[in-house]
Homo-oligomer: A and B are copies of this chain.
């Protein structure tokens, strides 16, 4: 089947997205074609908007709309606790638990020698800079309970403990080998509650 060029182009672009195969792309394209023009326009606008309006928070490296992200800008948050996560999506996961009132630090990955990722490729230096300000008393390491996540946690614990800061790790209420992003709120909330010192 040769699709009309504009359809083929949209299918192409849709298939670049994570989790979208040829079938889903076709369903979405046909849905857009059948829908009011407004549906395509609003989605296109939202796509452009997100790239125009969103950047990395210079403090925690989560996505931010203002100068800093909403969490860093919130004066109600406890600035003495930083929760270190792998990716921005993990911030959303921890926030959903409603258990954590401190700040975040997004590493941007985990130590993975196989993939050539060492601490220099992560935002470890930036974390040290934040701790150097002296306000932080506890760092919760909430990397995924995978081999790389545990390695990264141990590396950070060894690096941070000499600075006189308490370093804790979320409890393995999550199944080992699992993914923080897929945990339900209750499990992840309990894991946060039962964090242990490293």
Query: Which A residues are within 8 Å of any B CB, using their own CB?
Result: 1-7, 9-10, 12-14, 16-20, 23-24, 26-33, 37, 39-54, 63-65, 69-70, 87-89, 91-92, 95-96, 182
Check if B32 sits within 8 Å of A43, measured CB to CB.
no
Residue of B nearest to A52 (CB): B6
From A6, A9, A89, name the one whose CB has the most chain B CB atoms within 10 angstroms: A6
Return the contact of A40 from the options B40, B48, B69, B182 (Cβ within 8 A).
B48
Contact A40 B30 (CB under 8 A): no
User: Copies of this chain, how many?
Assistant: 2
The residue of chain B having its C-beta at the shortest distance from the C-beta of A62 within the complex is B4
Please determine whether B47 and A2 come into contact, CB atoms closer than 8 angstroms.
Answer: no
Prevailing SS type, chain A contact patch:
helix
Can you give 18 A-B contacts (C-beta < 8 A)?
Answer: A1-B95, A2-B70, A3-B92, A4-B53, A4-B65, A4-B70, A5-B53, A6-B46, A6-B54, A16-B39, A18-B27, A29-B50, A30-B87, A32-B50, A33-B51, A33-B54, A41-B48, A43-B47
B33-A40 in contact (CB<8A): no
| B42 pairs with A13, CB closer than 8 A | yes
Say whether B40 contacts A51, CB under 8 Å: yes
- A37 x B51 contact (CB < 8 A): yes
Whether the Cβ atoms of A14 and B43 lie closer than 8 Å is yes
A18-B31, A30-B89, A41-B51 known, 12 other contacts, Cβ within 8 Å: A3-B92, A7-B54, A10-B43, A10-B46, A13-B46, A16-B39, A17-B31, A26-B92, A32-B51, A33-B63, A40-B48, A41-B47
